[in-house]
Structure 1
Amino acid sequence: MSEIRVPTLGESVTEATVATWFKKPGDTVAVDEMLCELETDKVTVEVPSPVAGTLSEIVAQEGETVGVDALLAQVSEGDAAPAPAAKEEPAPEAAAEATPATSSAGGDTTDVMVPTLGESVSEATVSTWFKKVGDTVAQDEMLCELETDKVSVEVPSPAAGTLVEILAEEGTTVDASAKLAVLSSEGGAAAAAAPAASEASAPAPAASGGKDVENAPSANKIMAEKGIDPATVKGSGRDGRVMKEDALKATSAPAAAASAPAPAASAPRAPVSSDDASREERVKMTRLRQTIARRLKESQNTAAMLTTYNEVDMTEVMALRNEYKDLFLKKHGVKLGFMSFFTKACVHALKEVPEVNAEIDGTDVVYKNYVHMGIAAGTPTGLVVPVIRDADQMGFADIEKAIAEKGARARDGKLSMAEMQGGSFTISNGGVYGSLMSSPILNPPQSGILGMHKIQDRPMAIGGQVVIRPMMYLALSYDHRIVDGKGAVTFLVRVKEALEDPRRLLMDL
């Protein structure tokens, strides 16, 4: 007997609602076949079967709220053989459609599935196909690239053969368990397999196009309480299922329209002359760019964001770096940069002002006895923030190695979801692009972000004399709901002191 439990739901998510059961007690299930769908306040999570067998008991019914690792159901192992017959009996039409596609292949076929997308990610968009139907592919050769709202994922071929069918074209949004394509081990059958497969899959849109889909229980409850017609709500779940967030959006839409009619009226784009229009290019925003835009705007709307500024004399840091950079590279195999100094200085300051390293959770303030440092990195597809975990326990060399490794993975689009989650504070270096001063936007749910800028020689009054010093402006954006002005200024002053006299870091002063 195997227990089906609630999987990890994502950062700061502790419970979910059982939205839909796709199976009932007594049904035969295969390995990785979807059993049910959970709904949190952020995402929808599908729960697959870890084993083949029979669903013997459902413990958590639809509509129930369950915590992480709660028992959902139990599956009796060893009864997987009758699975095909069980599926053919209730759905003879579907079985009839599948048979020609299988026989037309003329050999073994392999399904290309969506790979694991990461914690809390339930769907992706097919951005690029590197192969077309009829192409021969080798095992592990890249077939296509998927794009989630956080990272890009390459899909390698699970076997050598011929690509006989593409089920998800470029631009299609697919869920985490979707089939992308079909491979055949016999190249000669490719031409016959592709048309047959296309015909077999053609009725699928019609089947899913109907609204004969059960909405999420929580969504039905909200719509019933608010008197909203479900037919007027556009669902974002599987097959158009209305989810909790869809219902909430529908309830808030009338109020927003009534209180702010002006923005709705100004939403359409300004008129453009035909001559200008012919020279414009319209490109759909990537999912990553859409997510960046949404999260930055949410940060502005949610946090009481404020920015305080200071400047730091980089003379001592630059002198120390120049003195030891060759020896550092020889011993540790990595270059000594400025980011390790700033990371160590921020860790030092966060110990004195812990609220900058905290976050708000409802009516609670969560103080973190660790520093998971986010280092913002620009990539060809947008801004990402890989996280260096336990940076407070690392030395200069370990920090530089981690920054170099994660920076390279970010530029190559190889970062995993886990590598971008859990940060407690962020450093953003706009100086590499020549920025002299800016106000960084918080990376929610964090309460602080430090903005670094360009190092520029400026005349400074020191000891009654005007001298030229390499200066950098620093900016700390913080959530004023939990960080007072005194704490923010103290944090920035401590960073300044540590950088202007790096020996303070060694003495913990």
Structure 2
Amino acid sequence: MSTEVRVPTLGESVTEATVATWFKKPGDPVAADEMLCELETDKVTVEVPAPAAGTLGEIVAGEGETVGVDALLATISEGQASGAGDSAPAKSQDSAASKGDAPDSDGSKGTTDVMVPTLGESVTEATVSTWFKKVGDSVAQDETLCELETDKVSVEVPAPTAGILSEILAGEGDTVQAGGKLAVLSGSAGGTTEPSSASAASAEPAQAASGGGDIEDAPSAKKAMAEAGLSRDQVQGTGKDGRIMKEDVSKAVAAASTAPAVSSAPAAPVQPPRGPVSADDAAREERVRMTRLRQTIARRLKDAQNTAAILTTYNEVDMTEVMALRNAYKDDFYKKHGVKLGFMSFFTKACCHALREVPEVNAEIDGTDIVYKNFVHMGIAAGTPQGLVVPVIRDADSMSFAEIEKAIAEKGARARDGKLSMAEMQGGTFTISNGGVYGSLMSSPILNPPQSGILGMHKIQDRPMVVNGQIVARPMMYLALSYDHRIVDGKGAVTFLVRVKEALEDPRRLLMDL
């Protein structure tokens, strides 16, 4: 019996990849979830695990070949690998892997492997942030053992079965791959542990980490280095075990091209070196490593500034009518829908209305094409203890006020708890950021790529305004629209913001589609 090894989902809008490296050759024994090969796309590097234990048969796509999603890569003859056991355990393990837990049980030794669960689309690695149990602790089935941190979300890892935590293979701060082994459980819920081969279990990862030979760089990287005239020691590899990938070569070429611009100064790090710090000041400092989420936020914000031509236009809106409408109906709204009527639903509706008139604000650039979206997937920026995240409310343009408020409340709560999935933060076409909840009076929001527009809300403040020749106090809010000037002209940006202002100052316009 043979099992097919196929190209996994490569990520949003990615349809093909290049086979970079095969870690196994035909005839080699493989274990379930063991890495077979590495694929390279224009965005990420994807490792392909073995779907079952057995012997690697035919390799259909060799190194350097381009393959599409779900294309056949190789075949595995099940049940022929030495020490792999019969096919039944392999099948059950594969089933567990599809659920994200991937426990590997060994009935003869009474041990169960705790594996890294599925981390989400296009996410291949995570950092172990916290272990809630230590070696020797008893654990119940589904009890949380540790928490992993990716560049998008936090993932809790439950115990696949009850037993004793006999070994931790990845400590806090270690980087682990999707499908990798985190720890070993032994014994049963009763607490009797068998003297499992902990040393043998740890020897296997150690041997794999040592490499046992030269590291094979990606074929595309070799070609790029040859074309650029770079040697291997001039490129810093970021792939598995320090393997050099194509994007590493591109970074090295870019660094070399900018080197003359810094005169004779040595190659400066990205962050300027710190100045002299006194011993007294150093003793009062605290150094904390940036989380992966914070690193990703920093990188994406800087990438947005480097890529897009960001410009911001401002206006102000009189919130009198919205506040009066909200105060008049908020109690009835809550009784009927079970959710509070806030300001975000008004702003979401107003933006959806304006985006229909100015569709370029809801579009994105793809190479030399402009992709117009005939729908609105609204991103609502939310501050969390871990950092800024942007859950997406899909098809917000077709939702009612109550549906919008419920979606915002539900996703906001899950964002604060770190429970958002990757899919819930992808695919947004426009974003609203409310800095007013923190007291911000004015700011220029940064785009959320590849989107072309983001609306910044701010604090509502009573200010003197001239109305019908009289100076009166009105609740005013400054609005800011940051947009990508490569695709949105000034006229379109100003028109969009004016339409939002008009809809909020006279909410009846939303009902009349004016």
Q: Same fold (TM over 0.5)?
A: yes
Q: Which runs of 5+ in 2 are unaligned?
A: 86-103
2:508 to 484, 503, 508: 503
In the TM superposition, residue 106 of structure 1 has moved relative to its aligned partner by 8.2
In the TM superposition, residue 504 of structure 1 has moved relative to its aligned partner by 0.8
> What residue is the counterpart of 1:73 in the other structure?
73
Contact 1:107 1:189 in 2 (8 A): no
In the TM superposition, residue 13 of structure 1 has moved relative to its aligned partner by 2.4
Q: Does 1:253 align with 2:258?
A: no
List per-residue Cα deviations over 1:136-155 (Å, max 9, x = no partner): 00001110000001111110
21-30 vs 389-398, which moves further: 21-30
In 2: Cα distance, 1:205 partner to 1:86 partner: 17
Higher normalized helix content (fraction of residues):
1
List per-residue Cα deviations over 1:76-103 (Å, max 9, x = no partner): 6xx422122589xxxxxxxxxxxxxx9x
Q: Which amino acid aligns with 1:80?
A: E
In 2: Cα distance, 1:51 partner to 1:194 partner: 23
**What secondary structure, in the 3-state scheme, does the structure 1 residue paired with 2:478 have?**
strand
Q: Does 1:189 align with 2:193?
A: yes
In 2: Cα distance, 1:30 partner to 1:107 partner: 17
**What secondary structure, in the 3-state scheme, does the structure 1 residue paired with 2:82 have?**
helix
1:160 to 159, 162, 180: 162
Contact 2:54 2:80 in 1 (8 A): no
Q: Does 1:274 align with 2:276?
A: no
Change in 2 beyond 3 A, CA 1:282/1:115: same
**What secondary structure, in the 3-state scheme, does the structure 2 residue paired with 1:125 have?**
strand
Change in 2 beyond 3 A, CA 1:4/1:189: closer
> What residue is the counterpart of 1:98 in the other structure?
none
Q: Does 1:204 align with 2:202?
A: no
Change in 2 beyond 3 A, CA 1:275/1:74: closer
In 1: Cα distance, 2:12 partner to 2:493 partner: 26
List per-residue Cα deviations over 1:174-223 (Å, max 9, x = no partner): 11121000000254436x54863576358437623x66111111111111
In 2: Cα distance, 1:162 partner to 1:114 partner: 18
In 1: Cα distance, 2:5 partner to 2:347 partner: 46
Change in 2 beyond 3 A, CA 1:199/1:402: closer
In 2: Cα distance, 1:65 partner to 1:438 partner: 46
Write out aligned runs for 1:140-179 (5 A): 140-179=142-181
In 2: Cα distance, 1:6 partner to 1:199 partner: 30
List per-residue Cα deviations over 1:297-330 (Å, max 9, x = no partner): 0000000000000000001111111111111111
> What residue is the counterpart of 1:136 in the other structure?
138
> What residue is the counterpart of 2:313 in the other structure?
308
List per-residue Cα deviations over 1:124-167 (Å, max 9, x = no partner): 00011000000000001110000001111110100000000000
In the TM superposition, residue 258 of structure 1 has moved relative to its aligned partner by 1.9
Write out aligned runs for 1:402-441 (5 A): 402-441=407-446
Instruction: State the identity %.
Output: 77
> What residue is the counterpart of 1:117 in the other structure?
119
List per-residue Cα deviations over 1:348-380 (Å, max 9, x = no partner): 000011111111111111111111110000000
Change in 2 beyond 3 A, CA 1:203/1:292: closer
> What residue is the counterpart of 2:23 in the other structure?
22
Q: Which amino acid aligns with 1:214?
A: E
In the TM superposition, residue 47 of structure 1 has moved relative to its aligned partner by 2.1
Change in 2 beyond 3 A, CA 1:311/1:84: same
In 1: Cα distance, 2:446 partner to 2:229 partner: 38
Computed over aligned residues only, the root mean square deviation of the Cα atoms, in angstroms, reads: 2.4
Q: Does 1:264 align with 2:262?
A: no
Change in 2 beyond 3 A, CA 1:446/1:285: same
Q: TM-score if structure 1 supplies the norm length?
A: 0.91
> What residue is the counterpart of 2:226 in the other structure?
224
Instruction: Count matched residues.
Output: 489
Q: Does 1:108 align with 2:106?
A: no
In 2: Cα distance, 1:238 partner to 1:173 partner: 11
**What secondary structure, in the 3-state scheme, does the structure 1 residue paired with 2:193 have?**
helix
Contact 1:133 1:194 in 2 (8 A): no
Write out aligned runs for 1:462-473 (5 A): 462-473=467-478
Change in 2 beyond 3 A, CA 1:211/1:304: farther
Contact 2:132 2:144 in 1 (8 A): yes
**What secondary structure, in the 3-state scheme, does the structure 2 residue paired with 1:257 have?**
helix
**What secondary structure, in the 3-state scheme, does the structure 2 residue paired with 1:83 have?**
coil
In 2: Cα distance, 1:508 partner to 1:154 partner: 45
2:329 to 324, 347, 352: 324
Contact 2:380 2:390 in 1 (8 A): yes
Contact 2:59 2:75 in 1 (8 A): no
> What residue is the counterpart of 1:57 in the other structure?
58
**What secondary structure, in the 3-state scheme, does the structure 1 residue paired with 2:78 have?**
coil
Q: Which runs of 5+ in 1 are unaligned?
A: 88-101
**What secondary structure, in the 3-state scheme, does the structure 2 residue paired with 1:264 have?**
coil
Contact 2:111 2:196 in 1 (8 A): no
